[in-house]
């Protein structure tokens, strides 16, 4: 597996998919409901189709697990995790942030991630043990050391139990930090942590495609990523707490 070649293929793919989604940005008039508060558009499906076709063409032996199409299992140690548009409601509404996100696993461990912001044409890339980069510039998480200076991001799930869990934690967290933001895109939130813009993101009852691409990028930028109980992120994780690594254990206690 040549990650140099892989990276070039994926960057070109992201630019192609980014151009596709931006052509329709702010112009969509229809969506379908996946659940009561969760939507999908034709562009989610079209973008995913382009991504899957590219991966199938270039990495035919790899498994693929995508948000809309589900799992295509192959007898391979490699698996791609795909989120064609993370932040679909933002995208449908003609606002940002939203992201295109991919992650390559080897034996269920992330080894390569790519997140793309098609509005600004920013490419976030990370390799396991190789650092994290934005448009070729090495990224580093923030150096804030005091919770009172932290900006925390979270997400309100379409699932009642998950949403209520986050809501019940918000007042306790807010009392300790500078501000809380809800951006509507987990991958965007994680890219901001990796780039040192904000300090923390947490979410509960979420999915692999919402967790893994950004997790590797944050870790390779010097941050820390666990589930909300402080455990290592795995393919079975359903929650995430990502931070600049400072006061992470304190944050675990606050959110619990």
Q: Render pLDDT for 130-140 as a digit per residue (tens, 0 to 9).
A: 999 999 999 99
**Strand (E) or helix (H) holding 202:** strand 200-203
C-alpha radius of gyration, the chain, whole number: 17
pLDDT one-digit tens code per residue, 156-208:
877 788 888 899 899 999 999 999 999 999 999 999 999 999 999 999 988 89
29 vs 237: which has the higher pLDDT: 237
- Of 4-13, 63-72, 86-95, 133-142, least confident by mean pLDDT is 63-72
Separation between Cα atoms, residue 210 and residue 102, nearest integer Å: 10
Q: Determine the Cα–Cα distance for residues 150 and 154; give it in Å rounded to an integer.
A: 13
Place of tokens 């799992």: 71
Give 152's pLDDT tier (boundaries 50, 70, 90): very high
pLDDT at residue 35, as a whole number: 66
Alpha carbon of 95 to those of 31, 55, 99, 155, 156: distances in Å?
16, 28, 12, 17, 18
- Amino acid 16: pLDDT: 97
Task: Give the model's pLDDT for residue 84.
Answer: 95
Percent of the chain with pLDDT over 90: 83
pLDDT digits (tens, 9 = 90+) for 75-111: 899 999 999 999 999 999 999 999 999 999 999 999 9
pLDDT averaged over every residue in the chain: 94
Cα distances (Å, whole numbers) of residue 73 to 69, 102, 140, 225: 12, 17, 35, 27
Check residue 36 and give its pLDDT: 62
Token readout for 4 is: 């140099």
Global pTM value: 0.94
């Amino acid at each position: 597996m040549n990650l140099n070649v892989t990276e070039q293929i994926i960057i070109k793919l992201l630019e192609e998919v980014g151009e596709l989604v931006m052509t329709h940005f702010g112009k969509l008039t229809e969506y379908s409901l996946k659940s009561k508060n969760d939507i999908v558009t034709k562009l989610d499906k079209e973008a995913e189709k382009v991504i899957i076709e590219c991966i199938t063409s270039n990495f035919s032996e790899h498994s693929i697990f995508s948000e809309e199409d589900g799992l295509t299992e192959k007898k391979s140690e490699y698996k791609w995790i795909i989120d064609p548009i993370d932040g679909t409601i933002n995208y449908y509404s003609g606002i940002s942030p939203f992201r295109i996100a991919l992650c390559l696993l080897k034996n269920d461990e992330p080894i390569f991630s790519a997140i793309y912001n098609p509005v600004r044409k920013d490419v976030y890339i990370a390799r396991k043990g190789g650092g994290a980069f934005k448009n070729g510039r090495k990224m580093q998480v923030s150096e804030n050391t005091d919770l009172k200076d932290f900006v925390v991001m979270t997400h309100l799930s379409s699932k009642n139990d998950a949403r209520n869990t986050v809501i019940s934690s918000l007042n306790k967290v807010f009392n300790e930090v500078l501000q809380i933001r809800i951006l509507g895109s987990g991958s965007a939130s994680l890219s901001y942590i990796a780039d040192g813009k904000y300090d923390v993101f947490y979410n509960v009852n979420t999915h692999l495609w919402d967790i893994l691409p950004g997790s590797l990028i944050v870790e390779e930028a010097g941050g820390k990523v666990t589930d909300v109980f402080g455990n290592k992120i795995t393919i079975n994780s359903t929650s995430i707490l990502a931070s600049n690594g400072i006061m992470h254990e304190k944050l675990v206690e606050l959110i619990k």
